[in-house]
Amino acid sequence: MIVVITGASSGLGAAIARRCARDPSTRLVIVARRADRLQALVEETGATALAADLTAPDTPDRIVKQVEHDFGRLDVLINNAGAHRPGTFRETGWDNVREAMALNFDAHVRVTEALLPLLRASAPSSIVNIGSVAGRVGLAGSGAYSAAKFALSGWSEALYAEERRHGVHVALVLPGFVATEGFAHNELRQRWFTRWLVSTDDKVANAVLAVISRRTSERYVPRAWWFVPASCRLTPGLFRRTKPTIGS
C-alpha cells in the first residue's frame, strides 16, 4: 500500500506515519516543511520524505512527481497538515482567517486535486481528511480555525458522494482535544468528568487506519464527541447561550 501523509513532521502526522509503518507492505511518502524532523521520521519508518510548504504553488505537483517516480501509484492520501492560531476576529482579523484557510483547507484541496488521477487509477483507494470537532461547532476564539474545518467537513461530504462511483473512498476523522505539547490538557485529564474529552495521537492514528480498512465515512475521536455537534444541532439556541469553551 502506497500512502501519502501531509503534515507528517510531528504530532498527529508523525503518529499516523508510525502506525502505517507497522505494516511491512506499506510504503510512505511524508510531506512537511521541517526537513530535519522529516529525516528523523525517515530513519524510524523508512519513508520517502519531501520537505515542502503545502501552501506554495508548486507543492502539489512536486508531490505527484515524487509519487510517480518512486511508486507509479497511490492507494491512500491522508490530508493531515494544519495549524491553529487562537484569537477573536477583532484581535486577529482577516489575516488569521486567510492563513487558516490556506493551510487547513486550501492546501488539502490542491493536493487532492493533483493526486486524484493517481487515486482513481489505483482504485479501490482512499482519501482521509483530518478535520476537527471545531469543524462542526464554532467556538469563540477559534473562528478562523473553525471556518477552515467547517469548509473541510462540507467538502469531504461532497467529495465522498462524487468519488464513490470511481472507487475512491473519502473519510473524515474529527478529533476533539488531543494531548500534545502545545495543549494544556493536564487539568482536563485529572477530572473524571472531563477526562473523556482528551485523546492521544496514537488513538487518532488508529482511527485513521480504521476508517481506511472499514471504509467508514466519518469518525469522532474519542467517539463520544459526536454528542457535542448533535446537541448543537438539536438545541442551537440553548447551546449558544451556554457559551462553550471546549474545542480542538
pLDDT of residue 196: 57
pTM of structure: 0.88
CB 183 within 8 A of CB 162: no
Residue 96 C-alpha cell reads as: 488569521
Higher pLDDT, 16 or 138: 16
Domain locations in the chain?
2-241
Using one digit for the tens of pLDDT, what is the confidence trace for 144-184?
A: 999 999 999 999 999 999 999 999 999 999 998 665 544 44
Length of the chain: 248
- C-alpha to C-alpha distance for 101 and 117, rounded to whole angstroms: 24
Q: Find cell 492507494 and name the residue.
A: 75
pLDDT of residue 138: 86
Using one digit for the tens of pLDDT, what is the confidence trace for 91-107?
A: 999 999 999 999 999 99
Superfamily of domain 2-241: NAD(P)-binding Rossmann-like Domain (3.40.50.720)
- C-alpha to C-alpha distance for 75 and 93, rounded to whole angstroms: 39
Burial class (CB in 10 A: 0-12, 13-18, 19+), 92: middle
Q: 160 catalytic, yes or no?
A: no
Which residues share a beta bridge with 49?
30
Average the pLDDT over each of 15-29, 46-60, 174-188 and give the range with the smallest value: 174-188
What average pLDDT does this structure show over 43-48? 95
What average pLDDT does this structure show over 192-214? 81
CB 53 within 8 A of CB 106: no
201 pLDDT band, cuts 50/70/90, is confident
Higher pLDDT, 204 or 247: 204
Which listed residue (105, 145, 150, 220) is catalytic?
Answer: 145
